[in-house]
Structure 1
Amino acid sequence: MADVKEARVPDIGGKPVPIIEILVKVGDTVEKDQSLLTLESDKATMEVPAPFAGVIKELKVKVGDEVNDNDVIALVEAAGDAPAAKADAPKQEEKAAPAPAAAAPAPAAAAAPAPSASKASGPLNVNVPDIGGKPVPIIEVMVKVGDTVEKDQSLMTLESDKATMDIPAPAAGVIKELKVKVGDEVNDGDLIAIMEGEGGEAAPAAAPQAAAPAPAPAAAAPAPAATKADVPVGGAPRTPPVSFDASVIMPGNAPYASPAIRAFARELGVDVAQVKGSGRGGRIQREDISGYVKNVMTSGAVPSAGGAAAGGGNGLSLLPWPKVDFSKFGEIEEKPLGRIPKISAANLARNWAMIPHVTQFEDADITELEAFRKKLGEENKDLKVTPLVFQIKAVVAALKKFPTFNASLDAAGETLTLKKYFNVGIAVDTPDGLVVPVIRDADKKGLLELAAELGEISKKARDKKLTAADMSGGCFSISSLGGIGGTAFTPIVNAPEVAILGVSKAAMKPVWNGKEFVPRLMLPLSLSYDHRVIDGALAARFAVYLAQQLGDIRRLLL
């Protein structure tokens, strides 16, 4: 008979953190590693997973409660032989002691960086704080060399599969050197930047006030936040490809709010860019969103409800999203959007808004390729050799022929980074949504080796075991719908890449060979590209060359 076990808070750094959302209720059946609740400190949002599968029998916490390492959050009637969380029990006594000092975390945190921040006039290293001992990718760098930053201003953002975290500046000063870039993975203590500390400004006063309840730092924070919003990171962005001002979603202008707060704002139809944050460094809190809504309701004003789309520099103001009571017309069912679609939505909206897309279409004659593929499959019955394997090899050949496609454009649209390696991202359809794992060094692998790796990484994606490393470092992406159908589509470029290949279902068509029409198996290709980097003529040449590679598999050996 299954027994009732305790679900506990993992190691979160030894400081109380408030619960902002509970994702389950009593009676729910949960899987191992399914998120139970969401915690949010002033610098990170984190989901607490179920340590084992089972049924929620009792919730020990509620929204607004603060929890610490190893606190019991729920009782779960475990299913099967899942490992119990009691191994962490000895740690509870060790970590129970900080509770009396819970009122003093802010002074303690402020006191540590103060000596470095006060009269530092020489180089100051900026290191990654304790993030749990596992590599985490950088998804955004908010400053550039030469920028003047304030103490606690966010320098960059890290994002694992469970949390997003900003790394703050330990002191006021000037960025002299950046040691990392977007896509790099960092770990505890890694050097990410070198600053030149500012000597003799307001920083010396921070040390005497560290023991106070900290109203002074909070009061001083809005000024630097406003200054930061006035100057876009990396210079002025190029003319946006759509009819609204895309500059407001550039990293330097993005409102300072966690993913959970942004989600809360979206639920209420609030544009976070219109909200003034009351937290440290101008960070937007939940109560700031609520206060903004109350103010709008009492004043009768109409809130801006679309971020960048709500009103751009060209004067365009879009209508608010329509709110309809669909139940008036018939039976309905509401279903929350999953985590992967939510993340994808933000990325796709940014990519579509900021990249001027053009799609080039081409057909490839794969009659001989398909015959060879089937023969190869018969000779290797323990291995699934799919058409995608040949498409990867053809893409690599085309990237070598046209290196502009194997590149990335920086956020300012001024610098193109050409890559000398060939990592190909493959869109994989999973029950939870679309993910894009990366096949690394595809140029160094044969067809059978690629087939084996493709099978492994696809299974890993469907089993929800992909890591951040599995999905980073891509040069070019392939989205294949050949197994489903369709004749053509316009895939969205996966920034910071500059192109993506869409593949539809092959079909037998009559093709004129100069004397007569003959049946040939034709594969539709859809090449979307960033028109800032690639012009139409180059895209057409790339697509034609790619079709030639697929049309004559002997070319793939060259």
Structure 2
Amino acid sequence: MSTEVRVPTLGESVTEATVATWFKKPGDAVEVDEMLCELETDKVTVEVPSPAAGVLEAIIAEEGETVSPDALLAQIADAGNAGPEETKPRPDDAEAETESSEEPAQEPQKAKGQSEMSGKSVDVMVPSLGESVTEATVATWFKKAGDSVEVDEMLCELETDKVSVEVPSPAAGVLAEIVAEEGSTVDAKARLAVITEGASGEKSDDKSAPEPEASGDNDDDTASDVGSPGAGPEDTKPRKDDVEDAPSAKKAMAEKGIDRDAVQGSGKDGRVMKEDVAKAKSGGDKPARAPAAPASADQADRQERVKMTRLRQTIARRLKDAQNNAAMLTTYNEADMKAIMDLRNDYKESFEKKHGVKLGFMSFFVKACCHALQEVPEVNAEIDGTDVIYKHFVNMGVAVGTPNGLVVPVVKDADQRSFAEIEKEIGELGKKARDGKLTMADMQGGTFTISNGGVYGSLMSSPILNPPQSGILGMHKIQDRPMAVGGEIVIRPMMYLALSYDHRIVDGKGAVTFLVRVKEALEDPRRLLMDL
């Protein structure tokens, strides 16, 4: 009996995830709740635990594949089942292979070193590329025809308009033929290569992990199975350069400029995982620069090419989708922050003493927005097909910048919370975001968002909607400016406010009214107490 491993709940606004890293391979024993793989969405990284104890029977969604919620990731066989049979050679197979290796190759189509044993041919097909992806480009082959390959060893890398997909070997044997060469475009069901299962071949001159040439006569078909002089049958432990690191770890090392030798791998045979890179200190070699034509060598020395992370690719796509799908418009106003600043100065010590948290600006903005949303509920609504869904609660998203990109944790039922509760929640969510510990529960369910570009010095900007929400408030830098107050010119701490909204559901009158109510509440916080 097999147990299915499926994609966990990703949140109501998250429709897909990318399989970043598998911590186990088919045939490995697993325990209940042991981490099997890691998924990446545009918001957070999700670890998938094992739902049962047993043996990982099959991996359905390989690293790099895009999967939807509840999609099948893998299958686990009960502990009583052996799972996939081990492909250990039988004695008669060994004799056949020895006899075959003594005969010269008769067919030019066969790869050098391929065994004459009656091994089954296994097609290497393009893996699942995602629902809307119809083709890919063969970027790099890590193996060449005639190379020996192991199960799940990386054969090549495909590039699509969304992600890079690494293609593992479906069987152990010899790469007999490469059907799709580097640079060729293949469709979603194309054949990439052919593997002769169980055959022996040459060691790979792997592009991603070069190996020293084997000693002895290179023309001897059996030389590829012999290690350095004096190596015995037990001297088969993979060297560091032979181990294929997790794709997410490779990208993380490239982004942070961390040398592979500076990272201690915790995976099987020393494989570097994503969390290993996070623990390593930044430094070492910089990411490899992009190749350039000889005539532009001087320019190549002053530029570098680094592949976008899956998180950054997804953020880019979702932001562009927001622009394409919504009738987005922005209205502006400004607020005099003197009243709030005076209030904070008067009560900050007593507030912190009683509640154990500092009184910041964000709680005032959250309260002001909740107040305005009561009067203009369409800003807190969303469009679903031809329907409008009005939310009679406020789950306030607060955009937070992290080293990996912008994330939006959510303060649930913000309209029912006190200033102290809001400040505590925002502080805790911000810390979890910076530490990379946000969960899907922390990210889902937002109905409106506040983004504070002012912490980076932004004076004015137009924030982009966070779908499927219909409104987002942009806060900016507080700057002293001369203002006319009561017929006199005075210096006041002013902040520009921006409301971006979906004009399909929010009219100009509603948007302006909302922003005016926020301005009024900020300039006179007593209005919040009086519900004015």
> Please, what TM-score do these two structures have when normalized by structure 1?
0.47
Which protein is richer in helix relative to its size?
1
User: If you compute each CA radius of gyration, which structure gives the higher value, 1 or 2?
Assistant: 2
Pick 1 or 2: higher relative contact order, CA cutoff 8 A, min separation 6: 2
